[in-house]
Amino acid sequence: MKPIRKLAARGALYALILSFASFAVFPFYWMVIASFKTDHDLFNPAANPFLLNEPPTLDHLRLLFFDTHFVTYLVNTFLVGVAVVAITLVTAVPAAYSLARWAKGWGETLGIGIFITYLVPPTILFIPLSRFVSDMGLQESLWSLILVYPTFTIPFCTWLLMGFFKTIPRDIEEQAMVDGLSRLGAMVRVVLPLSVSGLLTIVVFAFTLSMHEFIYALTFISMSVKKTVSIGVPTELVRGDVFRWGPLMAGALIASIPVSVVYTFFLDRFIAGFTMGAVK
């Protein structure tokens, strides 16, 4: 009896995982299959839509890369991401460090206050910010995104880093001060090298968040060559009412997967930030 029950439990577990995984992954499977289907196959309501009924084609990929601005979107996304990461690091790292280390009671309060601003959504801010962006003459410019995206990366990253810095023993930096460094020097030469994994987490997080962003990009940018992947693919690969599903799916897939792989590695760390120390 025992082994059979065990086997059944095992089977149930795999079935459960498998069904959840299929639910999660199905849209991506759909993207893969659409990317390689001929249009004739794709738009045939009688054919089995789950399979390639005709030999695979590279037409959609060719179209995506050579006849659309997809590559430009990727480049734009990358440029914005890198700039946002840089701004986030420069502002969040010192703020998180001094809040975690030097401020006693009010540091925690201010830290939580900064974190709470993460909850103020773009939905409330994008109307005044659109005005602000046009007053600054930044409409149709990647700079508008570079300027605005840190509003959601800084609060969360500051909070996340505060947690990281608290795990580094104070002794180490006091030792570094005794060993000849200033307070700032101890932070830069001892604490930061010890926080590499934390900093890396911030880099990945800020980059993925700015890549995922949709509302601001949609509001500030309408010129095709200035768009990021997140808005370029859904808005530009549609001609009037005609959705070019093949290239659309290929574009969505190509832009999604690499960043997802990296993100997965760091997921547990973000969760530590989300749970706000409610889990030790």
Partner 1 sequence: MAEVEVQGISKHFGEVRAVDGVNLATAEGEFLVLLGPSGCGKTTLLRMIAGIEEPTRGDILIDKLVVTHLPPRVRNIAMVFQSYALYPHMSVYKNIAFPLRTRGMDKAAIPAKVEWAAAMFGIEKLKHRKPRELSGGERQRVALARAVVREPSVFLLDEPLSNLDAKLRASAREELRQFQRRMGFTTIYVTHDQVEAMGLGDRIVVMNKGRIRQVGPPREIYHFPADTFVATFLGSPPMNLLEYAGTLVGFRPENFLPAEFVSDADGVVTYPFEITYLEDLGAETLVYGNIRERFHTGHVVSRLPGNVNVSIEAGRTYAFAASRRDLRFFDKSTGLRTEGSLP
Partner 2 sequence: MNRVMEGAAAVPAEGARAGVADRQGQLAPLMIAPAIAYIVALIGIPFVMAALYSLSDVTTGDPSIDFVGLHNYREVFYDPVFRTALSNTCLFALASQTLVIILSRILASALMQDFRGKWLARFLIMLPWTAPIALGTIGWLWMLDSIFSPFDWLLRRAGLLGAPGVLLGPMPNLYWLGQSGLAMASVVLVHVWRLLPLATVIQMAGLSSISRDLLEAAAVDGATGWRRTLEITIPLTLPIIGIAFLFGIVFTFTDMTVVYVLTRGGPVHTTQVLSTWTFFRGIEGGDLAQGAAISLFLFPVLAGVASLMLRMARRAEVT
Residues at the interface with partner 1 (CB under 8 A): 169, 171-172, 174-183, 185, 189-190, 193-194
Q: Is 103 in the site for partner 2 (CB under 8 A)?
A: yes
Q: Is 1 in the site for partner 2 (CB under 8 A)?
A: no
The contact pattern for partner 2, residues 220-239, with x = CB under 8 A and - = no contact, is ---------xxx-xx-----
Residue 274 touches which of partner 1, partner 2, none (Cβ within 5-8 Å per kind): partner 2
> Taking contact as CB under 8 A, which single stretch among the options 59-67, 138-146, 191-199, 260-268 is the one that binds partner 2?
260-268
Contact 138, 144 (CB under 8 A): yes
Minimum CB–partner distance for residue 165 and partner 2 (Å): 12
Residue written as token pair 């760390």: 269
Minimum CB–partner distance for residue 177 and partner 1 (Å): 5
* Cα distance from N-terminal residue to C-terminal residue, the chain: 40
Taking Cα atoms as reference points, which of 196, 105, 113, 125 lies closest to residue 155?
A: 113
Residue 147 touches which of partner 2, partner 1, none (Cβ within 5-8 Å per kind): partner 2
Site for partner 2, residues 122 to 141, rule: CB under 8 A: 122-132
Helices (H), the chain: 2-36, 39-42, 59-62, 70-101, 105-117, 122-135, 142-148, 150-166, 170-178, 183-186, 192-194, 196-212, 215-220, 229-236, 245-274
Minimum CB–partner distance for residue 169 and partner 1 (Å): 6
Taking Cα atoms as reference points, which of 208, 224, 222, 218 lies closest to residue 70?
A: 224
